[in-house]
Amino acid sequence: MPLLITNGRIITATDDYQASILCEGETVSRIDKHIDPKSVPLNTRVIDAAGKYIFPGFIDPHVHIYLPFMGTYAKDTWETAGRAALVGGTTTLIEMICPGKTDEPIAAFDTWLSKASGIAPCDFTFHMGVTRFDPAAESQLREIVRRGITSFKVFLAYKGALGVDDRELFHTLRLAKELGVVVTAHCENETLVDELQKQLLAQGKTGPQFHEPSRPPRVEAEGVHHLMTFAELTGAHVYVVHTSCREAVAEARCAISRGVKASVEVVLPHLVLDRKYTEINGFEGAKYVMSPPLRPADQLDAMWGHLASGEVSTVATDHAPFDFETQKVMGKDAFTKIPNGIPSVEDRVNLLYTHGVCTGRISLNQFVAAASTNAARIFGLKSKGTVAVGADADLVVYDPAYRGRISAKTHQMATDYSAFEGWEIKGRPSLVTLRGAVVAENGKFIGAMGAGRLVPRTTLA
């Protein structure tokens, strides 16, 4: 069914204007200051967006949905996470494929793809995890790129598990340069983390509040420095995921100033949650354990500043959902055993708007750039991330007058808790479309399971 949205204020990464939008098929077919409803096909649904914004569908470039990790599995499925994303205004997710070191890359790719294909209600693509590099892995990685996955993921953390050594890092980056793909990287020095963890546990410091001291800012900054050296020497384009502190951003900024091709991501928790949440009495702080960890409050202000300046390009979530009662509790006796992650795919857009736009920290255009357009540009999603004739009709009609509160009782995610329980949001999507089809309306999912597609992507020029 064609869709006409009238009287809305269209906001892109660069523009801000009043207009009407006609969506036909799966794309935006017309944008004009005024489109007469009598001039469109008879079966067109007409939406009056007076007093509301029209944003491009938002893109979360860093999520985990199917995730075997630390002896358990992430709680969400593509049904629950996809539904949550759409209700929250996110129409495309980029999931991290995280194979074990002995897993074959193609088999891992097929497994992750099978969890989404025919099931996901939103569009999707992947970053292909590289946990080992040998001739067999290289051949399979080349094939995965031929299938349209134009980004890799490496871990400079998780010693003995997902982490790559320096030889593997070098060859992964060299292959990425050859193929024109981006390498996303979790940057922490794995040896320092391992030794600091052992030291703290030996001192009887086992609670969730000791997770951050085991991975302090210098450990993260050293990981970024290490990655940038390898990127400089190979010419690869790198993307630092979930950057949490000014020290890490400084290392990336220094490298970029000398010509390294690098982009920086922050995730929503590192903008709105600080270390005190892990210090809640008892074991409640485990709800807030993620890596890199939540930082002191002054680091949040620094990260907002980096976002506003453009030094940070994207806001993602690192959505990694684990139940508190049955999964986080695995680390009751040692913080090193708490499954890492904060569920937030549903809340990213509303909290970024509430704590960024409404407070004046970022503009509406910066909001759209960081939550949608920049991810589309960096990761080759050419039909996404903007409102333009010919682009996918992924649109968010956003009501800035809405007021509500977040609660695990009402969220779409599968977890038994919300890290933002009771928090106020100032604004939410009143209508969300995926390629022209209405998939969410006024906080309710009304789309179809399986409607999501693997999104075509381009390689770097």
Per DSSP, the residues of 346-365 read TTHHHHHIIIIITTTSS-HH
Helices within 150-261 (DSSP H only): 166-179, 190-202, 217-234, 246-257
In this predicted structure, what is the pLDDT of residue 331?
96
Distance (Å, rounded) from C-alpha 101 to C-alpha 199?
27
List b or e across 429-442, with b for residues whose CB sees 16 or more CB atoms inside 10 angstroms: bbbbbbbbbbbbbe
CB atoms within 10 A of CB 377: 18
Where do the domains of the chain lie? 3-55+391-445, 57-378
* Chain center to CA of 87: 16
CB atoms within 10 A of CB 454: 16
Distance (Å, rounded) from C-alpha 244 to C-alpha 176?
25
In this predicted structure, what is the pLDDT of residue 292?
98
User: In this structure, which amino acid lies at residue 86?
Assistant: L
CA neighbor of 211 nearest in space, from 291, 276, 283:
291
* Chain center to CA of 355: 17
The yes-or-no answer to whether 3-55+391-445 and 57-378 have a common fold is no
Question: Is 186 within 8 Å of 150 (Cβ atoms)?
Answer: no
For residue range 47-89, what is the model confidence (pLDDT) as tens digits? 999 999 999 999 999 999 999 988 899 999 999 999 999 999 9
Peptide bond into 213 cis (omega under 30): no
CA neighbor of 4 nearest in space, from 62, 54, 65:
54
SS3 127: strand
Q: Can you name the residues that pair with 399 across neighbouring β-strands?
A: 428
Distance (Å, rounded) from C-alpha 152 to C-alpha 259?
21
* Chain center to CA of 353: 16
What does each of the 461 residues of the chain score in pLDDT, given as a tens digit?
899 999 999 999 999 999 999 999 999 999 999 999 999 999 999 999 999 999 999 999 999 999 998 889 999 999 999 999 999 999 999 999 999 999 999 999 999 999 999 999 999 999 999 999 999 999 999 999 999 999 999 999 887 788 899 999 999 999 999 999 999 999 999 999 999 999 999 999 999 999 999 999 999 999 999 999 999 999 999 999 999 999 999 999 999 999 999 999 999 999 999 999 999 988 999 999 999 999 999 999 999 999 999 999 999 999 999 999 999 999 999 999 999 999 999 999 999 999 999 999 999 999 999 999 999 999 999 999 999 999 999 999 999 999 999 999 999 999 999 999 999 999 999 999 999 999 999 999 999 999 999 999 999 97
In this predicted structure, what is the pLDDT of residue 22?
98
For residue range 105-123, what is the model confidence (pLDDT) as tens digits? 999 999 999 999 999 999 9
In this predicted structure, what is the pLDDT of residue 160?
77
Residue 293's H or E segment, with its range, is none
Distance (Å, rounded) from C-alpha 392 to C-alpha 371?
17
- Cβ neighbors of 457 (< 8 A, separation 6 or more) are 125, 148, 149, 150, 379, 380, 381, 382
List b or e across 275-305, with b for residues whose CB sees 16 or more CB atoms inside 10 angstroms: bebbbeeeeebbbbbbbbbbbeeebbebbbe
CA neighbor of 162 nearest in space, from 221, 214, 99, 112:
99
For residue range 155-207, what is the model confidence (pLDDT) as tens digits? 998 877 888 999 999 999 999 999 999 999 999 999 999 999 999 999 999 99
Q: Which CATH class is domain 3-55+391-445?
A: mainly beta
Q: Which two tokens stand for residue 149?
A: 């996955």
Pairing label, strands 53-56, 395-405 = antiparallel
Q: Which CATH class is domain 57-378?
A: alpha beta
